[in-house]
Structure 1
């Protein structure tokens, strides 16, 4: 091939390459996550402009901005939006400052900003993101912490089948999404049917895994399902968890998630009403105690809430009156905690904290107890578990109104010494021949304030 022909040939391929690269989506050329500790879906945010990679300043940087980055990179949902060069200081230009995304944009550069290179920052203010990576929650009625579970595999988002889907599986998703504790694990396309591939089926998590794809499953795409079986999760919400020495699923130091960071709650004015909202939010039954003075150890970092004043009816701790996130005059030796009744609660018309229809939490759902064989020994275990003194009576026949949903227990035969109702002999969860007009109740000796009818 002579020199002239070679030049023509090379020119042709250069044009082909330019045509191809110009057709690439903006997400492929405009943004990347880098820096110490970065992964495919977490790192310092850098954008490509004017032939050069540059950083983004953290002025006004928040979860809405991070959400656009995560979406643009097919990295699921934004978990936090760290600033202050969390992933190390960049170099070169700082291309964006005062980014103000709504969260619905498809590209970071679509978000309002004063212009490329218009900034008053230094690289110790470089912005970053931490995304959920290969998992997201979407669908009708979804929130950041509830929705249809979808995983990213083979370049495509797909759903999870509800065969064998339970609270252990949901717990892994909620942890992975930084969304607290799993409240329920709805199937049957509760958040609407998805589309495309069904990537996972027969997932069998123990609950301790750090990622859903670490759980045992027969392989991506191995399934015998339809999208009307798509699995979902409802988490306790991104803003609350119970931790600390001696903590359990339903007792511990209360921490809330705000501004991309976990922080504690001060015990100023902390009482059973506040604890009741936490226990309800975590599906942990009834508040038994509201310990302060760092009963579950000292936290670290921010103290997000102080002077919380719940009525007890709120559905989330952050709905309760408080002076504002970060407005406090406390130290971590004042960190607030809760002790909840865990898998049991007393509800119904005329109920109090120590009397009501007995309901237990199983399989992600609250259900009732049948009054077949229900007696004072059974009631005694419930009263002890609820920290409500001694059993006074064990009414049946839906004395506190008929419940709804499953009847989880029947023919319970406690000796009276057990520490939990579910430790008592019974034929198995859901094994029953009852109707809700046989729902069992208790009246304990503990004199407690009345609570709202549920």
Structure 2
């Protein structure tokens, strides 16, 4: 964090420089509401003047591809707290949003219904897996897709991949040709993530195209979503269970409604919600009741992003386990 003095006519304006940018509440780490970090606090960006030039800077800063779409009017849900930036004006070539011109601190006339967002091109994909959350890891660089060398491939690296894909926690790391062999470019070698990065492309590597691998030494992952439906007639119906602290548990039906259930359906790729169920309609679960009084706004990418009082409620039983029936398409 630092400050810079900008001369404007006869006045010196104190311009804060934010130190970090992230996207939240999107479908993956390359989409969502724009947030910037200043003085240890995350805040939002007002959508006044927000266009593709600003979005392009955000996408590049967080290690995603080109800006695909600009979002405004709190498309990804309203943030809270401080609105750090307003009337952002980028040329599009800046390395960070903080290097663009903008009004900052409380110098804005915005509220959180005007929070800016962006959808960037994903620069990573999982190929030939069982589903969208498993497969051979491939990254896009210089307009060309290539693989990742599995030398020193570990859990921190896989965790970043799963998070970037919006697929929850890492379940299994794979090596070699587990998901099939492919020829062509090997882009990344000796990947060394700390696990906190938003994108694999921002992790430390030997250098693009530099590696110790040969043909078919491909890194892969199997990820797991933190939410599942159990005891239903299909994948898209059942008792809602969430994964927390390494253990599956249930959700109380206290306050459970169609808005909350809709988040589950969307998270699982199951279309629209048909019915929100309570009273252990799909049978009683076991283990902890992780979530109670769930309060979603409806645009969250995962149920675990919705508001709750706290994790685990030891005074609740499974007679009130929540469930859902989704449209499946």
TM-score bracket, shorter-length normalisation: 0.3 to 0.5
- Larger proportion of strand: 2
Instruction: Report which of the two structures shows the higher radius of gyration computed on alpha carbons.
Output: 1
Q: Identify the structure with bigger relative contact order (alpha carbons < 8 Å, sequence gap 6+).
A: 2
